[in-house]
Amino acid sequence: MPSVHLGQKAYAKIVLHAAKYSVVSVAGLLLGTKDGAGHLTVDDAVPLFHNVLPLSPMLEVALQQVDVYCKQTDCSIVGYYFAHELLTDTSITPFTAKVASKIDDALGGDSLLLVINNKELSSDKVAVLPYSLESGSWKVQPSSSLDVSDIAVKKVGELVKHKAYEKLVDFDNHLDDIKCNWLNPAVNQLLAT
């Protein structure tokens, strides 16, 4: 699999989402661009759900709306991230595989599936495992194929310490209160400082 650059904004939102909902599963979308050689640049993430259940209606709405956003901003849905509720579980559930494969199809291949390595969330290491679709099933890739800057990892660690995750909202929050903006401008601002 060609290499993937995981930007600070995307990595931050993934980790903050997992930190905010530490007792249940979380999932979300990865946004970015794919070049001619299949290399991905993941610029942003849209947190979707916590206490993830394999239910389609709201997921469909979320995928369609994020798609609209992508068309407006000239990027694509380049992948999906997921964290299990149990600390040591990093398996790919059938539903996760299904959603990620659908995204892969829409992208025309080379999409990224990130499974959060819950145990590493409180360490200073990169806390996600990259997967790629090979011959119809999702296979884990070497961590060297994922490029995440040390500065990003450090910054995100600090954000978690300062409970910045309280500012993060996901699509579930939005459905409960539409004033919650799933593009997370508040978190974007924190990262810009």
Would you tell me which residues interact with another protein (CB under 8 A)? 20-23, 51, 53-58, 60-61, 64-65, 68-69, 71-72, 86, 89, 93-95, 163, 166, 174-176, 178-179, 181-183, 185
Q: What is the DSSP letter of 18?
A: H
Contact 153, 124 (CB under 8 A): yes
Helix, strand, or coil (residue 45)? strand
Helix, strand, or coil (residue 152)? helix
Instruction: Pick the closer one to another protein by CB: 3 or 22.
Output: 22
The least CB distance from residue 15 to another protein, in Å, is: 14
The least CB distance from residue 123 to another protein, in Å, is: 13
Instruction: Pick the closer one to another protein by CB: 150 or 176.
Output: 176
The least CB distance from residue 66 to another protein, in Å, is: 8
Sole residue written with tokens 């959060």? 116
52-83: buried (b, 16+ CB within 10 Å) or exposed (e) per residue?
beeeeeebeebbeebeebbeeeebbbbbbbbb
Instruction: Pick the closer one to another protein by CB: 98 or 139.
Output: 98
Instruction: Pick the closer one to another protein by CB: 62 or 113.
Output: 62
The least CB distance from residue 143 to another protein, in Å, is: 24
Contact 32, 4 (CB under 8 A): no
The least CB distance from residue 140 to another protein, in Å, is: 19
Instruction: Pick the closer one to another protein by CB: 1 or 97.
Output: 97
Q: What is the DSSP letter of 74?
A: T
